[in-house]
Chain A
Amino acid sequence: MTEHVPDTVDNAIATPDKHQPYELLGLKADEYAQIREILGRRPTSGELAMYSVMWSEHCSYKSSKVHLRQFGQKVSEDMKKHLMVGMGENAGVVDIGEGWAVTFKIESHNHPSYIEPFQGAATGVGGIVRDIISMGARPVAVMDALRFGAIDHEDTHRVVNGVVSGISFYGNCLGLPNIGGETWFDSVYQANPLVNALAVGALRHEDLHLANAKGVGNLVVLFGARTGGDGIGGASILASDTFAEGGPTKRPAVQVGDPFAEKVLIECCLELFQGDCVEGIQDLGAAGISCATSELASNGDGGMHITLDNVLLRDPTLTAEEILMSESQERMMAIVRPEKLEAFLAVTTKWDVEASVLGEVTNTGRLIIEWQGETIVNVDPRTVAVDGPVYNRPMEYPSWIDALQADSAAKFARAQTGTELRDQFLALLGSPNEADTDWITNQYDYYVMGNTALHTPDGAGMIRIDEESGLGVALATDANGRYCQLDPYVGAQLALVESYRNVATSGATPMAVSDCLNFGSPENPEVMWQFARAVEGLADGCLELGIPVTGGNVSFYNQTGDVPIHPTPVVAVMGSIDNVARRLPSGWQDEGENIYLLGVTRDELDGSSWAGAVHNHLGGKPPVVDFPAEKALAGLLAAAAHEGIVTSAIDLGTGGLIKALTDGVLRFGVGARVWIDELQQRDGVDATAALFSETTARVIVSVDRTDDVRFRGLCEGRNVPVLRIGVTDTGSASLEVQGQFEVSVEQLAAVHRATLPAHFGPVVGG
């Protein structure tokens, strides 16, 4: 074995012409030249490792930055009102009242989840949870938005099983309730599944912590798991590189997670916060120590001096460069005042968490890293973490999009009989994207912590934050890649209003947004155009709705070969509710209640679930977005929940009215009688559109007959179109659309529940 000789700064000066493998590390020639210019010499191999990971697309947002700025620019005063921490920190923080704040964020772990689905998905959960702890919050729930390949493709089984058991294993072992999410199957995700994990945490205002290294002489402490050889270069080599079919396997670059270590780390951090032992804190995610040191120093007094020899290693043969790049999980870096170190170590010792002091905060403006007595890194940390390259990538209007939009689903003959409608309905209900997901969600614990007020299959998850007052938060995630393929601007807005409406439907008031933007290669001008349009749509939409984007993540290079995924901007909306006892159920529980449809229905079937499930078609233009109508509807639902005059509310999303009615029936097994002729007349649509159209700004609610007058008054006062379309019927045990068809509750359940088990295995007790 040859001894590894570290490349020192002195050595770099002495050997300016030494060849460096910057390309293998993912850097372009001009980026490498830029690094040499910044340093006034060639980088040491340690510096090169740091720049390469921190300047990767994943860490630097170099292709997306110019577009993401809109989220900070298109902001009204109103949107800032409740915002305690905005974009740029580990996660945004929102004031929800009563001295409570909530932090939440959604992040991708797509590429690792294809290579090693179990560990990829597991560490995705672990990473987002550490972001939440970094803000000083106790994590209180997780959710996940998943996209898999075609349900009947031979490889899908491997990916689904791995991803779901990875999330189940890690999330369940952390003791965090998994309260919702979504699952889609589409061949565009075949070799590039999407695993987007969301975590939400709660904190008292005074417990807020930020990732900065302030206070000259304060100590830099690394604690948690030891540093090993896992995930080395994961950030740059995995997340920023497209899968080439038949390419070499990249398995060693995926990190391995240990949820037990993370659970202990959570409790340890919370006790450290409680004891006021920590000045600043940062989790170690992508780019490990490189990222944590450069970001903490950039956000603080500007300098840091550490000795890399002090890092506790799992593998003593690691080189300095590998230590800098390692993405070993379950690690945190804290800034600690010297006089607090003893108290700090008492807490870590109590939890059997290892900690070591790496160095201290300086005000030199330099990040200096020593190794075996020599300086191997001497950089301005801002050039690593903040002032990386920014690309204004070329964009091009997709050559194919006009033809796609012209190919409307209007060309398909509409159903002529009730039987035909019924057959289409059942085909839709059993289609992979509308089917019941119990096979997945039964593997997640939503009970732990005892504060879960809504969970799968409810449209939003809800968590009680304050046990005394009942104050709580609701969360939903949504994205519709099909609509985004047709029109990324409108598609992104549709994801936003869908998520917003799901939160409103729970009775909560939407407050903030986090997004995970999953796209193809930014080097493809058509993809870049899709990205730019989606971001613009989201930013404009948030301004219209008056809720800010508080953070999120961009995932590029989601494609196989040259074929990009459908643009998939997953939008998570968080809302608050004064008392979770006033939440709205997502199904019927009582006999003889009136069912009302709120909103109007247009003939909008292009890109719909109906078009996909019944006609295997994607083309045309997505539904129109109506922000004022969405706001009016959300306001009405919050008021109705507050006053207790609706007994349930169900959002109309994919699958339209008939899917929402089915959800209402299946939630508690209570049937309904529904009529659509008045709806057809009022809105001028045929039966197919009435049942399957995906027009936005619509919700169905059930109302006790004694509250009818008050309810109608509320709708009138708020200018929300309302139409009585049915009654709940506990006796019938069926869903009847009068004059069209009737399906028993038993059959609805059977069709809805059969699809996933048919491909992945039985559901216990199902």
Chain B
Amino acid sequence: MFITISQFSDSPIYQQIQDQLIQQILSGTLAGGTKLPSIRLLAQELHVSVITVKKAYEELERAGYIHTQAALGSFVCKQNAEDRVEQKTQRIESLLAPAVEEALLLHISEEHVQAALHTLFANRKHNHDDND
């Protein structure tokens, strides 16, 4: 598990913790069943408020990434491949949603947005040949 906090980021600290944990859970770095550090330990290590970490954990629990057992701690949820795909899709959708809002605001058509997305993927493939 690896978490960095930026004081100058626009996203609040609980969001930063949440996002980084989601990334590591979805990429498999944090496997199902892994025990997360206690709220108080993580808060002390990161020098952030206890409530901040608590909030991040609560959001992760609500979204189904982790579960908490009284007196035992919080654990990464074990999930089958289907659930994972679902969660990854949800994650991508939540990241794309602001772009869609912006597109509507700027009166850019859906086709243009799809083309832009296509270009981004193409560039990425071009730059990292060995990446699938």
A in complex with B:
no
B binding-site residues for A, Cβ under 8 Å? none
A binding-site residues for B, Cβ under 8 Å? none
